[in-house]
Amino acid sequence: MTDMTMNEFDSMNESQAEVFFPDPLPGQERFVAPTEETPLRAVDSVDDDVPPTSMWVDAWRTLRRNPLFIISAILAIFVIVVALFPSLFTKQDPVVCNLNDSLEPSRAGHPFGFDLQGCDVYSRVVYGARTSVSIGIMTTILVTLIGGLVGALAGFFGGWVDGLLSRITDIFFAIPMLLGAIVLLQMFRTSTSLWKIIFTLTLFGWVNMARITRSAVMEAKNLEFNTASTALGSTPVRNLFRHIMPNSLAPIIVMATTSMGTYIVSEATLSFLGVGLPSSVVSWGGDISTAQSLLTTNPSVLFYPSAALAITVLAFIMMGDAVKDALDPKSRTA
């Protein structure tokens, strides 16, 4: 009956109609309106020439019209380029200092002046981006991989696997990231390096990513595509990494983008407190710590690395907020 067109139905004789539609019982009479009285409305029509779109295509269309995303993306890309190619922006060596230039104001070739040791502030701000941004990016990658894997396994398999991984997550979640990093780095203070900062921040920072991923996977595994894939013979592991994880990436990407600014600030805080990178490594946190005593006499020495840190963190946080709005299903038009 469902494959029969209205023209075929109209052309049937009464005997054929009685076969398909026997007389209804009392109280079950039905009425079918003629086709001319129920025309196809414009809202119900579908343009076959328009290709189908996905959530990611719709999100990109939203992002490229969002001034907040455009500004934050330009700032973030600029900072990354400075971190990758600092020699394009300055020819001065940030570790070459001359005490004769101590606290000298800006002049040709030195737009930000000099710090207390006679080092060029501009070159240290430029090269400090490499350290801070590198730590932020590498920590974000490791946190996403570790936290995403733990959260995916806990949310997908459930049962004792979820119970065990959730309890481990709760233990690390109870330890503040900054406080745990300070205590751990104090134990290896004599040999602190960039990778130790990264691993320390990763050790205490993966729990939030695990919780977000667990919730996203638990929601995605109950959708129809997972049931259909299982019915076709797909293994649970294949379902998890081939179907469920790709459909759970939206909150993970938002969390990773926003967290990158947090890790950059954490590295600067650790260096400011003297438990992060050694003074021989150029970083924004170390320069801020050195210049804090000059706040009242030469505030510009403190202002420039602080401004660079604030702009970088603000760019990544604004980008994360814009991506969150674009990937939010409630903000998408039907």
Residue 313's domain is classified under what CATH number? 1.10.3720.10
| Whether the predicted pLDDT of 10 surpasses 70 | no
pLDDT of residue 201: 92
Q: Over the stretch 181-197, which tens digit does the pLDDT of each residue have?
A: 988 888 877 666 788 89
Q: Which two tokens stand for residue 225?
A: 């595509």
Q: Does residue 32 come out as left (phi exceeding 0), alpha (psi in the -120 to 50 range) or beta?
A: beta
Query: What pLDDT does residue 41 have?
Result: 59
Task: Please determine, for residue 44, whether its predicted confidence score (pLDDT) is greater than 60.
Answer: no
Q: Is residue 121 predicted with pLDDT exceeding 50?
A: yes
Assess if residue 180 is contained within a domain. Answer: yes
pTM greater than the 0.75 cutoff = yes
Task: Give 263's pLDDT tier (boundaries 50, 70, 90).
Answer: very high
pLDDT value at 22 more than 60: no
CA dihedral 268, 269, 271, 275 (to 10 degrees): -150
Q: Which amino acid is at 13?
A: N
Q: Encode pLDDT of 301-332 as tens digits.
A: 889 999 999 999 999 999 988 888 888 756 54
- What average pLDDT does this structure show over 162-168? 91
In a domain, 239, yes or no: yes
Residue 334 confidence (pLDDT) = 43
Average the pLDDT over 219-228 and give the result.
Answer: 80
User: What is the residue-averaged pLDDT of the chain?
Assistant: 82
In the prediction, which pLDDT does 186 show?
A: 84
Residue 51 included in any domain: no
Identify whether the C-beta of residue 293 lies closer than 8 Å to the C-beta of residue 230.
no
Amino acid at the residue 19: V
208 close to 175: Cβ distance less than 8 angstroms: no
Q: What is the mean pLDDT of residues 13-30?
A: 56
**pLDDT of res. 125:** 93
Alpha helices of 159-235 — where are they, by DSSP H? 159-173, 177-187, 194-220, 224-231
Nearest to 130 by CA among 87, 178, 92: 87
**Cβ-Cβ contacts under 8 Å for 101 (sequence gap 6 or more):** 114, 118
User: How many whole angstroms separate alpha carbon 37 and alpha carbon 27?
Assistant: 25
Share of the chain above pLDDT 70, in %: 81
pLDDT at 1 over 50: no
What tokens were used for 311?
């702009």
Residue 160 lies in a domain: yes
Short-list 245, 256, 259, 247, CA closest to 153: 245
Is 113 a member of any domain? yes
What length does the chain have? 334
How high is the pLDDT of residue 310? Answer: 92
Overall number of domains in the chain: 1
For residues 136 and 263, is the Cβ–Cβ distance under 8 A? yes
Tens digit of each residue's pLDDT (9 = 90 or more) over 275-286: 888 878 888 988
pLDDT value for 126: 93
Residue type, 41: R
Helix (H, G, I), strand (E, B) or coil at 114: strand
Residue 41 lies in a domain: no
Please name the amino acid found at residue 249: L
Q: Is residue 316 part of a domain?
A: yes
Cα separation of 234 and 283, whole Å? 49
Tokens of 216: 């996203």
Higher pLDDT, 81 or 7: 81
Terminal Cα-to-Cα distance of the chain (whole angstroms) = 31
Q: Which domain holds residue 178?
A: 59-331
Comparing 180 with 23, the larger pLDDT belongs to 180
Check: CB of residue 210 under 8 Å from CB of residue 151.
Answer: yes
Comparing 310 with 59, the larger pLDDT belongs to 310
Residue 24 lies in a domain: no
What one-letter code names the amino acid at 239?
N
